Amino acid sequence: MKVYHNSFYAMGSRFNLVLPSSDDELCEQLSNEIEKEVKRLESKLSYFDTSSQVYRINKEAYKKEIEIDDELFKIIKTCFKYHEITFGAFDITLRPVIEHLKSGETHIDSPHSQFDNIILDESRRTVHYLNNNVKIDFGGFGKGYALEKVKRLIDSSLFKNAFISFGESSILVKGSHPKGKFWCVGIKDFYQTESAVHQFKMVDKSVSSSSNYYLDDNGKLCYKLSIINPFKSVPAEDISIVSVLSESPLTAEILSTALLVLEDYKIQEIIRKVECLEVIKIVYNDKVPEKKVFKKGNS
């Protein structure tokens, strides 16, 4: 079978779309719709783009209440919901903490979580910050939310099978592999890079993986200062990976980051509450991976 492939760059990642189909015109049409939608969301949710709604909120919401559109209001409400579900581990206010840690500065007034200082007004559709230290960043949310929109576009199309990789860490599949019963997605071992520490057999599912380390183009293991423990305002340090399998790309995206900083018993408690099928947590000790599996119904 002929396979269509297209890619574009958005949200700091490479978006890859694979469609097993011989109808190039129909594939191009869907691909263009997907790219348009993902880039629309990027322009709305970007922390750095001076023309985005988020940039305007971060600049002005301490001075006055800012009226926002329905979509962004619902997005922030969703973040409130997951902040509560994850015991505060999912936190969209940690960008100042990351920037402070990257700067290497040390002083008593170090930044910390400001989630409780975001005020939403349902009736007026406004957001307001209680102090000037509040900044929201949808870095651990945006790709999952975009894939939710992509999922709807694919579901409303004529395509029965599709494979989407957003930065390799966020995967969405529809149907199954044209030569099999499922799509197979693996978690690469950091030290035995030709091997997978786990494989997901996926049909109509999403999986998202997060880690505080990554392999560079030369295969070197590198630390990244982007996974923050919001309870201590310090970066996660253990070499670990969390992968979340879900029917919802957004749930998978949010939890994969949040669960990196939580104890095992809290992980099990959380997946009982949400649309989550399986959580795989890999923790390395002297380059040896220990795999923990969490599913609904586990004790």
228 and 98 belong to one structural domain: no
Distance CA 58, CA 12 (A): 20
Angle of the 249-258 helix axis to the 142-155 helix axis, nearest 10: 160
238 and 168 belong to one structural domain: no
163 and 20 belong to one structural domain: yes
21 and 153 belong to one structural domain: yes
pLDDT (0 to 100) of residue 253:
97
257 and 211 belong to one structural domain: yes
Query: Residues of 263-285 as b/e, b for ≥16 C-beta within 10 angstroms?
Result: eeeebbebbeebebbbbbbbebe
Q: Encode pLDDT of 133-147 as tens digits.
A: 999 999 999 999 999
Query: Is residue 136 situated within a structural domain?
Result: no
Query: Is residue 135 situated within a structural domain?
Result: no
Distance CA 258, CA 83 (A): 9
192 and 250 belong to one structural domain: yes
Identify the band that residue 224 occupies on the pLDDT scale cut at 50, 70 and 90.
confident
229 and 296 belong to one structural domain: yes
Helices (H), 186-263: 249-258
What's the number of domains the chain is made of?
A: 3
Distance CA 206, CA 165 (A): 10
Start-to-end Cα distance in the chain: 44
151 and 212 belong to one structural domain: no
What CATH number did the domain enclosing 292 receive? Answer: 3.10.520.10
Give 219 or 120, the one with higher predicted confidence. Answer: 120
* pLDDT at residue 108 greater than cutoff 50: no
pLDDT (0 to 100) of residue 13:
95
Domain that holds residue 61: 53-129
Structure tokens at 258: 């949040």
Q: To the nearest whole number, what is the mean pLDDT of the chain?
A: 93
161 and 70 belong to one structural domain: no
Query: Is residue 134 situated within a structural domain?
Result: no
Query: Is residue 138 situated within a structural domain?
Result: no
Distance CA 20, CA 39 (A): 24
What CATH number did the domain enclosing 112 receive? Answer: 1.10.3980.10
189 and 241 belong to one structural domain: yes
Task: State the pairing for strand pair 3-10/206-211.
Answer: unpaired
Query: Is residue 120 situated within a structural domain?
Result: yes
267 and 119 belong to one structural domain: no
The percent of residues above 90 in pLDDT, for the chain, comes to 80
Identify the band that residue 165 occupies on the pLDDT scale cut at 50, 70 and 90.
very high
239 and 298 belong to one structural domain: yes
Angle of the 142-155 helix axis to the 24-45 helix axis, nearest 10: 150
